[in-house]
Amino acid sequence: MSHFYRNILLIVLLLSSNIIWAADNVMENPKSKNSISVGVMLPLHNVDGDGRRMIEYYRGLLMACDQLKSEGFHIDIHSWNVPVDADVKQTLLDSYANKCDLIFGPLYSKQVKPLSEFCKAYNIKLVIPFSITGNDVAYNTNIYQVYQDNARVNASTINAYIERFSESHPVFIDCNDSTSRKGDFTSSLRKILDAKKISYNITNLKSSDDSFVKAFSRSKQNVVILNSDHYKELSLAITKLDRMSSLYPGFVVSMFGYTEWLIYANYDFNNFCRYDTYIPTVFYHNPYSAATTSLEKSYRGWFNEEMQPAQPRFAITGYDHAQYFIRGIAKFGSKFVGSKSQNVYSSLQTPLCFEKIGKGGYVNTSFMLIHYLYNHSIESLAY
């Protein structure tokens, strides 16, 4: 990594809410077919959690650009601090804004419309990396919306369940969790099972041992689905299953969980493997991956601190996003739309695959099941 580039990165550590920072020539090589101009319009400050998370995302993006530079890519990076109260229209007056091939942002929904209209006017690809409200993607062909709402993820999860477990016996466990937000999912899954005439049983964490075991099949693989993603209820369910296995051995049991369970994986790993657990998700931070640990080590070296322990890791998300889009645009130019056939990058954590929405832009449809196997290995099953 060049001394100049490291100094540019260190400037990021000093960002405040009143600074707009632009690296006009972070990569100083002349333009070529691999020359990409990248814009970042996010809250890049240390004032609050939003800013700190976006700085980490941005750091990952910069690390990706540095790695791409070593492969011969020529990348100009222009970045602007766009906090929650910013008028993004003023940001767009900057003379560098309309020179971008690609812009990452914004974070806030109210900034999407003016920024997306600007990108459409100048034919700039706009990558919206995080959760927003509104449906601008349905009308603007330049938008690439990474975030998937609950309805889309639930639909993908149900499709994956039916594809993989159509011959298995579903067992729904009522966890008596009044704060659970998973009722829509379990209700939708049961409706699909009913429509396909797949029988299932429902039991309760408070059921007696005799009553509980009657919900399970001796002749089929049993797939347990809780109606809660909370750790307390998961622990109670595992204890209940352990007791059943002790009192009534011989059942084949798998668990079908929720993305939130990834947070518990460090201390529930053995339980997940013992019950052949499948976790649906659109990301996976794999702490056992050599490539992931190498990037985390590099991050510590560059910034003298660890990544925030979030799911997903923001720095790795930024790294994956930059690698995916810059490589894609470099290879396919304006024809790059992020389709499965155009994928030229294997993600570390956050896979991407886009589908066009009618006459509008593109939405991410990437989805996978993380499978914890009996032999204590983990596999990622992409859909």
State whether 144 and 13 are in the same domain.
yes
Which residue type occupies 207?
Answer: S
State whether 305 and 251 are in the same domain.
no
Query: Parallel, antiparallel, or unpaired: how do β-strands 362-364 and 354-356 relate?
Result: antiparallel
| Residue 226 placed within a domain | yes
Backbone angles phi, psi at 126, to 5 degrees: -110, 115
Q: Is 218 helix (H, G, I), strand (E, B) or coil?
A: coil
Number of domains in the chain: 2
Question: Residue 140 belongs to a domain with what CATH number?
Answer: 3.40.50.2300
Question: Residue 268 belongs to a domain with what CATH number?
Answer: 3.40.50
Q: Is 116 helix (H, G, I), strand (E, B) or coil?
A: helix
State whether 135 and 165 are in the same domain.
no
Which of 281, 314, 330 terminates a domain? The answer is 281
| Residue 374 placed within a domain | no
State whether 74 and 18 are in the same domain.
yes
| Residue 184 placed within a domain | yes
State whether 137 and 52 are in the same domain.
yes
Which of 281, 315, 339 terminates a domain? The answer is 281
| Residue 379 placed within a domain | no
State whether 125 and 201 are in the same domain.
no
State whether 68 and 176 are in the same domain.
no
| Residue 166 placed within a domain | yes
- Cβ neighbours around 22 below 10 Å, total: 16
State whether 262 and 314 are in the same domain.
no
| Residue 382 placed within a domain | no
State whether 12 and 142 are in the same domain.
yes
State whether 137 and 156 are in the same domain.
no
Left (φ > 0), alpha (ψ -120 to 50) or beta: where does 358 sit?
A: left
From the list 2, 61, 58, 63, the residue with the least C-alpha distance to 28 is: 2
State whether 156 and 266 are in the same domain.
yes
State whether 144 and 293 are in the same domain.
yes
Which pLDDT score is estimated for 33? Answer: 53
Per-residue pLDDT for the chain (383 aa), expressed as one digit of tens each?
A: 444 444 454 444 444 333 333 333 333 333 455 689 999 999 999 999 999 999 999 999 999 999 999 999 999 999 999 999 999 999 999 999 999 999 999 999 999 999 999 999 999 999 999 999 989 999 999 999 999 999 999 999 999 999 999 999 999 999 999 999 999 999 999 999 999 999 999 999 999 999 999 999 999 999 999 999 999 999 999 999 999 999 999 999 999 999 999 999 989 999 999 999 999 999 999 999 999 999 999 999 999 999 999 999 999 999 999 999 999 999 999 999 999 999 999 999 999 999 999 999 999 999 999 999 999 999 999 99
Which of 257, 281, 305 terminates a domain? The answer is 281
Which pLDDT score is estimated for 32? Answer: 54
The residues that bridge with 104 in the sheet, in sequence order, are 40, 127
Domain that holds residue 70: 3-148+287-366
| Residue 380 placed within a domain | no
| Residue 375 placed within a domain | no
Distance of alpha carbon 95 from alpha carbon 91, whole angstroms: 9
| Alpha helix ranges (H) inside 111-203 | 112-121, 150-165, 183-195
